[in-house]
Structure 1
Amino acid sequence: MSFLFMDFEASGLEPAWDVPLQAAYVETDSDLRPVRETVLRARLPAYVVPSPDALLVTGLDPYRIEAAPLSQLELMRAVAGILDAASPATILGYSNLKYDEELQRHSAFRTLLPPYATSMPGLARADVLTMLRAVAMLAPDTITIPVTPQGKPTMQLGPVCRANGIAFDEADAHDALNDVHATIALFRLLRERAPTIIAAMMANAHKSGPAGLLARPEPLGLGLFNRMIPIGGIMPTPGNASSWAVADLTVDPTYLDAPPEELGEMLFANGERPIRLVKTNAQPILLPWEMAAPAARGEVPPDRELQTRLARIRGHACFRDNLAIALAGRFAGKEPSPWPDDSLYSGGFIGRDDAITSRRWHEVEWDQRVRLGRELLGDVRLKAFANRWAWLEAPGELSAAEREKGAAWFDHRLDTRDDVPWLTRPAARERIAALKAGAGPGDLARVRQLDAIERWIAGRGKPLSCAA
């Protein structure tokens, strides 16, 4: 199987509200020899206000962003093509499952493309940061984890690479392609120094691996932030087979007769958590207990006691019934987001008819896209996105009432002072003022960059097509 390494640089850290500005993909063979690489750069949609902090970190010049060759629609269509062509492959990145994958999902969703493309048959997903954490816990002598000037361990890509002899200048960081090449080099090093651990973790890159482990009758090891704990699989979550309830076997299961309400509270308790949820599709650090035990901390019961506790938990029918009720109701009463951008997970899966219409939407000209959005799209979220893109890209195809409605949405999106989950221009100006206030005498270049960002944000307005 081949590997597809990826990295995004984006307008901010909120996948539901920010967008990718750079995307880099490097496909390799099983020996990590590069086969092809692709770098994509996209313009910022007119309705998105970028995070000043993100622009400072990445060094992205907002005026260069405007000159990028691709629109967001073109960028995400290209990404969809790369994913489709790469299968079968394992997709890897650095902290990609927590951020880049989420950004890809939400961006595909907003551009009427399949949001779960990386979970389709033929593709698996792995995270080099997760594997680094596993190696650091289980084979600490094989890898150097650097410390900050404040004496705290750090797993940032650049410092980890340099601490382990991988050339990666800080000036090269936060460029998507440079980050991908550094990730490949670090993955190669981990495979060479800890092959058994990496092989076990790569077996967890597809959800079938962790699901198979959790179905076993013996204890397993689950990696938390910096330690392993003994756990046992209990059951998949009703309605979501990729989420498993597991029991922390260091905790005596005196809770087996607890009602569903108490069991539900245990799932999200602070401190000791007798029952946890494990995502089988997010490459958990999940290993046989005999392999994980050396990285456990504190008092751990003997193996025989762990097995006894797991047998009691699995054999208690009333507990399993009550836990199923608690799991099924854990989101009961939660209000869905009123904003389509933030409704990927709360609005349900996209239906077959809407998926077909969305695919057709990308194949036709704007006059037909507008008709498809009006007449055939049934999912209100997709309809909102289709209307948005039509207003931004082809307002002449809309009625006067539709253009007026789009203009009102755009003005609210950029300049509202309501308490909203996205970044507005007023909020960005306040953040820039705070960053300037905290600047020191040696931060003149940083202040000049903030001045440029402030001028650029202030000049953001309606797209030329819409203003005309």
Structure 2
Amino acid sequence: AQALRPEGINWPVREDGLPSFKLEELTAANGISHEAAHDALSDVHATIAMAQLVKNQQPRLYDYVLNHRDKRSAMAQLDLANMKPVLHISGMFGAQRHNIALIVPLAVHPKNKNEVICYDLSADPQQLFDASPEQLCALLYTPTAELPEGIDRPGLKSIHINRCPIILSAKMADPAMAERLGISGDLCRTHLAALRHYRALDAGAFTNKIQAIYSQRVFDEHTDPDRMLYGGGFFSDRDKRSMERARNCTPHELATNSFPFEDSRLPEMLFRYRARNFPDSLTQEEAAQWEEHRFQYLTEPEAGASICMEAYQTKIESMLADDGLPPGKCELLQQLLDYGDSLLA
């Protein structure tokens, strides 16, 4: 709504001049009661109230998004054969871009049929043509601060069609709106033409390369710090002191202080500690990284979880199909099913 139809809603601005999408600031700016920010139930009521505000002020946009939220509709909007550009709303694009970008679908994820690999047309695709899948995978998951000088992250972006993605026709961004959003039509068309030309040279090889980038990321029980915690040796006294210091830090200090760990497991463990306990301490990039990690563990069997979400839901649904199920147990199973859905929301 802020990017495409901002009228009728007050949009708070951060100190740096960019729009703020924090729930507590949105509710305050629009006179919506939100007495206990970050309390789960209070946040739910506030979110519903914000959705009602959008529905009242921008009913056509609200109805469009609501009617296209299921995965069949989402997939129908992603024209892989013709590489047709669409507008996509995602927090990964950042407030400086109004959380919107013109993207083009490239291929279905090699391991997850509900994930479509796309490309952000604001990014030069030459890197995609020149680098190997291994190199591109490494760059894709390297923190921005650790990228080699002069090297940008690939413009690849996945859309999970079973997570109610917001996908809109590119026609919704007329020239005036595109200028306001910082979307250069000429630049996007140039990059789209390059991608189409590259695929036309060998469509099969193009798809294989894109999918190979996402096949490189392997979840190995011997390298995942959570799963090797009791199999990777004891921590040094120096690392124990650093961990103690981390536990005594405020969320802000955790995000800004340096912790020179000796053990290679600890940087990732510290990141996950922050993500699980102090999500507000994460940068936008870190939050997106955590969300991707969390979603993969929930949905991809090879990620190492004891049960993935599809198997979890299938098991519960098979139990619910039992006509002789007592009402109390039926209600409990339905609550478990709803809980699973909430983890993917």
Name the TM-score class by shorter chain.
0.5 to 0.7
Provide TM-score, normalisation by structure 2: 0.53
Residue 69 (structure 2) pairs with residue 200 (structure 1): no
Q: For residue 219 of structure 1, what is the aligned residue in structure 2?
A: 85
The gaps in structure 1 that reach 5 residues or longer are: 1-134, 365-468
In 2, distance between residues paired with 1:252 and 1:264? 17
Preserved CA contact (<8 Å) 2:85 2:103:
yes
Q: Which residue of 1 aligns with 2:288?
A: none
> Of residues 327, 330, 334 in structure 1, which corresponds to 2:214?
327
Q: 2:103 aligns with which of 231, 249, 255?
A: 231
Instruction: Note if contact 2:2-2:11 (Cα within 8 Å) is conserved in structure 1.
Output: yes
Within the candidate set 1, 5, 8, 1:142 is matched to 8
Q: Which amino acid aligns with 1:325?
A: A
Deviations 1:193-230, CA, capped at 9 Å, x for gaps: 12233233324432223222223521112232232322
Please name the residue that 1:7 is paired with.
Answer: none
| Counterpart amino acid of residue 94 in structure 2 | F
1:339-377 per-residue CA deviation (whole Å, 9 max, x = no partner) reads 89x96552364669x947x969xx99xxxxxxxxxxxxx
Any idea what SS the aligned residue of 1:273 has? coil
Q: Is the Cα contact below 8 Å between 1:219 and 1:306 reproduced in 2?
A: no
Quote the Cα distance in structure 2 between the aligned partners of 1:302 and 1:338.
44
Compared CA separation, residues 200 and 268, structure 1 to 2 (3 A): farther
Separation in structure 2 between the aligned mates of residue 298 and residue 195 of structure 1, nearest angstrom: 25
* 1:183 is the counterpart of 2:47: yes
* Aligned counterparts of 1:150 and 1:221: Cα–Cα separation in 2: 25
Count of aligned residue pairs for this structure pair: 224
Return the alpha-carbon distance in structure 1 between the equivalents of residues 158 and 34 of structure 2: 38
C-alpha separation in 2, matches of 1:148 and 1:308 = 37
Residue of structure 2 in register with 1:259 after alignment: 132
CA change 1:321–1:151 in 2 (3 A) is: closer
Distance 1:332 1:308 in 2: 35
Kindly state the Cα deviation for residue 180 of structure 1 after the two structures are TM-superposed. 3.2
| Cα drift, residue 236 of structure 1 | 1.3
The question of whether the paired residues in 2 share the 8 Å contact of 1:220 and 1:230 is answered with: yes
* Residue deviations 1:131-188 (CA, integer Å, cap 9, x gap): xxxx11122333212246887743333332232233x153x44554444333222211
Identity %: 27
Letter in 1 for 2:304: S
Contact 1:214 1:233 in 2 (8 A): yes
1:263 and 1:325 map into 2 onto residues whose CA distance is 10
Question: 1:236 touches 1:244 (CA, 8 Å); kept in 2?
Answer: yes
Give unpaired runs (5+ residues) of structure 2: 145-151, 230-293, 327-345
CA deviations on 1:4-38 (whole Å, 9 max, x unpaired) are xxxxxxxxxxxxxxxxxxxxxxxxxxxxxxxxxxx
Larger radius of gyration: 1
1:312 aligned to which of 193, 197, 204: 197
Answer whether contact 1:267 1:277 (CA < 8 A) is retained: no
The question of 1:241 aligning with 2:113 is answered yes
1:279 equivalent to 2:279? Answer no
SS at match of 2:186: coil
Counterpart contact for 2:120–2:155, Cα < 8 Å = yes
- 1:97-136 → structure 2 map (5 Å cutoff): 135-136=1-2
Q: What is the deviation of 1:234?
A: 0.7
CA distance 1:231–1:249, shift in 2 (3 Å) = same
Coordinate RMSD, CA, aligned? 3.8
SS, match of residue 142 in structure 1: coil
What displacement does 1:321 show?
Answer: 1.4
Note the C-alpha offset of 1:192: 1.9
Matched-pair contact (CA < 8 Å) for 1:258–1:319: no
CA contact (8 A) 1:232 1:310 kept: no
- 347, 351, 373: which is aligned to 2:305? 347
Could you say which structure has the higher strand fraction?
1
Which residue number in structure 1 is paired with residue 21 of structure 2? 155
Q: Distance in 2 between matches of 1:157 and 1:325?
A: 38
Please tell me whether the aligned partners of residues 249 and 309 of structure 1 are also in contact (alpha carbons under 8 angstroms). Answer: no
Shift of 1:240: 0.3
Distance 1:197 1:328, change over 3 A: same
Change over 3 Å in CA distance of 1:178–1:303 after alignment to 2: closer
How far the C-alpha of 1:303 sits from its partner, in A, is: 6.5
Instruction: Tell me how far 1:332 sits from its aligned partner.
Output: 5.3
Instruction: State whether residues 256 and 319 of structure 1, in contact with CA within 8 Å, keep that contact through their aligned partners in structure 2.
Output: no
| Residue identity opposite 1:155 in structure 2 | F
**Contact 2:198/2:206 (<8 A) preserved:** yes
> How many Å separate the matches in 1 of 2:207 and 2:155?
14
Q: CA deviation at 1:232?
A: 0.7
Q: Tell me, yes or no, if the aligned pair for 2:140 and 2:153 is still in contact at 8 Å.
A: no
* CA displacement, residues 403-452 of structure 1 (integer Å, 9 cap, x when unaligned): xxxxxxxxxxxxxxxxxxxxxxxxxxxxxxxxxxxxxxxxxxxxxxxxxx
